Amino acid sequence: MVRGPGEVSVRLRVNGATRTMSVEPRVSLLDALRDRLELTGTKKGCNQGACGACTVWVDRRRVLACLTLAISCENREVATIEGLADGDTLHPMQQAFLDADAFQCGYCTPGQLMSAVALLAEGHAGDDAEIREWMSGNICRCAAYPHIRAAIRRVRDEQGSGDAAR
């Protein structure tokens, strides 16, 4: 692997596959995913940790990829929206978002989905107030919040509030 000046080799396990890349130590996980690994499903919204569009999982925990250094994820399990479906079979939350019309422009949808699946796995979907609180880090500029909550409730009710994350 050819490294540029000041770059280091980073090994990530992304969506089940080990990926090695050269990055500057200050490169965010978001930029590494999008620019180096061409996984563009994770969106760059505010790039300041305020909107949640870049939500991914690191070791099955929600993180804002724009505020996480790629190098800090060395040898850790990273999951992105590209890894949520099982081949051509949508994750139940993806299907629920479609059925509930839980997106408008769709820009925030990858981060919303990653947070929604994690929210269920964390056991934070007891009622709408709890869902609203635990999804509050994900902004939808189109205000599809009632539909997003409906999709989460649907999956919660179909699967229970246990481990919905794969």
Q: Could you read off the pLDDT of 32-87 as tens digits, one per residue?
A: 999 999 999 999 999 999 999 999 999 999 999 999 999 999 999 999 999 999 99
SS3 at position 8: strand
- Tokens read off for 93: 């939350």
Domains of the chain in sequence order: 8-83 (3.10.20.30), 92-159 (1.10.150.120)
What's the CA gap between 5 and 21, in Å, rounded?
14
Query: Hey, what's the torsion of the CAs at 52, 120, 59, 14, to 10 degrees?
Result: -70
Cα torsion 21, 81, 57, 91: sign: negative
Q: Could you read off the pLDDT of 94-140 as tens digits, one per residue?
A: 999 999 999 889 999 999 999 999 999 999 999 999 999 999 999 99
* Residue at token pair 């269920």: 120
pTM of the model: 0.92
